[in-house]
Amino acid sequence: MTVTADDIDERRDAIAAKTLNECRDRGLKIAAAESLTGGLLADAFVRIPGASDVLLGSAVTYDINAKATVLGVDRALLEREGAVHPEVARQMASATAELYDQPQYRGLVIGLSTTGVAGPGPDGDKPAGLVYIGLSMPSDDGRRSGRRTIARELHLAGDRPRVRRLTVLRVLEALDDVLADRGSLGAR
């Protein structure tokens, strides 16, 4: 059975709505740093009425220099590895949580990130469909020092729009798993 763009969008909307409700109930906020998805992750949330209770914003840092200057991703890492790297995704997720946190949020901001190669072809030695997503979760008591941040590697197939759509869906699924305690922040 072929999964269509409509199937992906329907699942995206359902998970985004569930995630927003779960975060609202727990007093959590969400912020994103997007490269590959260029705003689609934020769009997945803002499509849902009431998203402003939870979503703080999304920094589209498509340019490698923006990752360094806006988010503070390690410039030496970016020069050595490029933007498509798990540590870049980790740093993007952690930095966006810090960037959007305010005293009233008490460190309870979830940071999400996307970086990768959407295609149509490879980017140097990195194939189309290679994606890294980052999740940075506050500790149970909201202490910043207890923040847990991971990156997951994805290998997605399809054209550029499909890779971007699937990336958003995979971020939402990963966050849903963590919030439902079905998944750990360990690599899988």
Look at residue 187 and tell me if it is in a domain. no
Share of the chain above pLDDT 70, in %: 93
The band of 2, judged by pLDDT with boundaries at 50, 70 and 90, is: confident
The band of 182, judged by pLDDT with boundaries at 50, 70 and 90, is: low
- Give the pLDDT score at 3: 86
Look at residue 169 and tell me if it is in a domain. yes
The 3 state secondary structure assigned to the chain is: CCCCHHHHHHHHHHHHHHHHHHHHHHCCEEEEEECCCCCHHHHHHHCCCCHHHCEEEEEECCCHHHHHHCCCCCHHHHHHHCCCCHHHHHHHHHHHHHHHCCHHHCCCEEEEEEEECCCCCCECCECCCEEEEEEEECCCCCCHHHCEEEEEEEECCCCHHHHHHHHHHHHHHHHHHHHCCCCCCCCC
Look at residue 171 and tell me if it is in a domain. yes
- Residue 42 structural domain: 5-179
Look at residue 185 and tell me if it is in a domain. no
Give tens-digit pLDDT for 159-172.
999 999 999 999 99
Instruction: Check which CATH number belongs to the domain holding 56 and give it.
Output: 3.90.950.20
- Give the pLDDT score at 145: 59
**Tally of domains in the chain:** 1
Look at residue 26 and tell me if it is in a domain. yes
Look at residue 94 and tell me if it is in a domain. yes
- Mean pLDDT over 102-119 rounds to 97
pLDDT of residue 187 exceeding 90, the answer is: no
Look at residue 186 and tell me if it is in a domain. no
Look at residue 124 and tell me if it is in a domain. yes
0.75 exceeded by pTM: yes
